[in-house]
Amino acid sequence: MATVVLKNVIKRFGKAEVIHNVDLAIEDREFMVLVGPSGCGKSTILRMIAGLETISSGTIAIGDQVVNDLAPKDRHIAMVFQNYALYPHMNVFENMSFGLRLKKTPPQEIEQRVGAAAEILGLTDLLHRKPFELSGGQRQRVAMGRAIVRNPSVFLFDEPLSNLDAKLRTQMRAEIKLLHQRVHATVIYVTHDQIEAMTLADRIVVLRDGRIEQIGKPLELFHHPVNTFVAGFIGSPPMNLVEGRLGLSESRIVFAGGVAFPIRMPKERVREAIEDGQAVVCGIRPEDMTLSGVQTGWRHAFDVQGQVQMVEPLGSETYVHVRIGDAVWVGRCEGRLAPHIGDAVTMTVNTDHIHVFDAASRGILFSTGQDA
């Protein structure tokens, strides 16, 4: 397998620069996910690695070789597309073996490679079917099988599950993760779905407007976002982000509407960089807000009054949208404890997991769990 290294990569379409000085090192056999909203540049980066888009400046290396000037067929990569890209007139075996036949691979080796890939993907009994006879999940498996038989150094996945329904996406996520464990490949995977990113990745690259916002392991990004963009993008539902002002002497954040949340103040080394009255954005994840009286095990917490605006029942749990002062916060509770719209409720907030961001730069100032 191989490492993939991007250094100072820039991409321009005409005069418009869409990828800005991207530096990224992907380790051998790592499962790296590029995630971000539509138009952030993640698919463009993937296509530049594949050689389907030229880079405007910088270098891309696969293994020990800079591949800027290599054709896609010479980069020893395999790509799985969103739309499967299967030949409708060929059966499964013919689709999976097409690239090998172009390379004039011996028939016996083709049989062996396709048979091994079909067994891994559960396609052995489907090798003589045409694509129109397959389900969406089976077609995606064929597309992955076509990549596997090539024994590439790097697998590239471009939003491969976006055309599948929710249940099938969950199933295919598990299959892709299992596939990575079995073939021990370097994988670069593009998605706009942060749940896919969290469940699949060894590390995640969060992109916005052609720039890298943060790189890290899934839980690192979840618990320690560097700015409000990452905080709001990673996590479902996203982190509550509400503007307020720091009251250092009172150890609290004051919000519009006269509501104040007490917070555990940071260590002196952090306090030196912040000011009393500073405009901030307070970030609290829904799982750190729940109905008062629920057993939480939280060491430090406080209660605040509010009114229920919306209820999202999901079965075992419910997300409750509660107006507190002038802002609406989302909390979580057990499904059987769900209140009703209009109810006056008391919410308990976990003060060990509050993130405080600078309102101007949107960057992290401190998190109570790590800096208090």
Q: What strands lie across the sheet with 16-26, from one edge to the other?
A: 16-26, 4-13, 57-62, 65-66
Tell me the whole-structure pTM to 2 decimals.
0.90
Give CA–CA dist 117/145, Å, rounded: 6
Strands (E) across 31-102 are located at 31-35, 57-62, 65-66, 77-80
59-63: average pLDDT: 96
Split at pLDDT 50, 70, 90, the class of 73 is confident
Q: Is residue 179 scored above 90 in pLDDT?
A: no
For residues 185 and 284, the model is more confident at 284
Q: Is residue 206 scored above 70 in pLDDT?
A: yes
Let me know the angle formed at the C-alpha of 328 by 245 and 256, rounded to the nearest 5 degrees: 30
State what percent of residues in the chain have pLDDT above 70.
97
In CATH terms, the fold of domain 4-230 is Rossmann fold (3.40.50)
- Residue among 134, 121, 125 nearest 88 (CA): 134
350-367: average pLDDT: 94
Task: Check residue 253 and give its pLDDT.
Answer: 94
For residues 153 and 19, the model is more confident at 19
For residues 231 and 73, the model is more confident at 231
Q: Among the listed ranges 33-42, 136-145, 219-228, 352-361, which one has the minimum average pLDDT value?
A: 136-145
Task: Check residue 271 and give its pLDDT.
Answer: 66
CB distance 49 to 30 below 8 Å: no
> How do residues 328-358 score in pLDDT, each as one tens digit?
999 999 888 889 999 999 999 999 999 999 9
> How do residues 289-323 score in pLDDT, each as one tens digit?
999 888 788 888 999 999 999 999 998 899 999 99
User: Would you tell me the crossing angle of helices 107-121 and 136-148 to the nearest 10 degrees?
Assistant: 140
Split at pLDDT 50, 70, 90, the class of 268 is low
For residues 66 and 171, the model is more confident at 66
pLDDT averaged over every residue in the chain: 91
Give CA–CA dist 255/243, Å, rounded: 7
Task: Check residue 230 and give its pLDDT.
Answer: 97
**Tokens found for residue 215:** 């790189």
325: number of CA atoms within 13 Å, CB side?
15
Domain boundaries along the sequence of the chain:
4-230, 240-371
Write the CB contacts of 45 (distance below 8 Å, at least 6 apart in sequence). 6, 9, 19, 22, 24, 34, 190, 207
Give CA–CA dist 175/141, Å, rounded: 9
Task: Check residue 370 and give its pLDDT.
Answer: 57
12-17: average pLDDT: 94
> How do residues 74-83 score in pLDDT, each as one tens digit?
999 999 888 8
Give CA–CA dist 344/323, Å, rounded: 10
128-154: average pLDDT: 90
Task: Check residue 265 and give its pLDDT.
Answer: 78
Q: Among the listed ranges 55-59, 69-73, 215-219, which one has the minimum average pLDDT value?
A: 69-73
- Residue among 43, 52, 53, 51 nearest 62 (CA): 51
Give CA–CA dist 325/297, Å, rounded: 27
**Tokens found for residue 216:** 């890290």
Give, in order, the Cα–Cα distances in Å from 183 to each of 63, 202, 214, 237.
18, 15, 28, 33
Q: Is residue 49 scored above 60 in pLDDT?
A: yes
In CATH terms, the fold of domain 240-371 is OB fold (Dihydrolipoamide Acetyltransferase, E2P) (2.40.50)
Q: Is residue 371 scored above 70 in pLDDT?
A: no
Kindly report the number of other CB atoms within 10 A of residue 142's CB atom.
27
Task: Check residue 172 and give its pLDDT.
Answer: 83
Task: Check residue 250 and give its pLDDT.
Answer: 86
Split at pLDDT 50, 70, 90, the class of 11 is very high
C-alpha torsion sign, points 202, 206, 207, 213: negative
Task: Check residue 372 and give its pLDDT.
Answer: 42
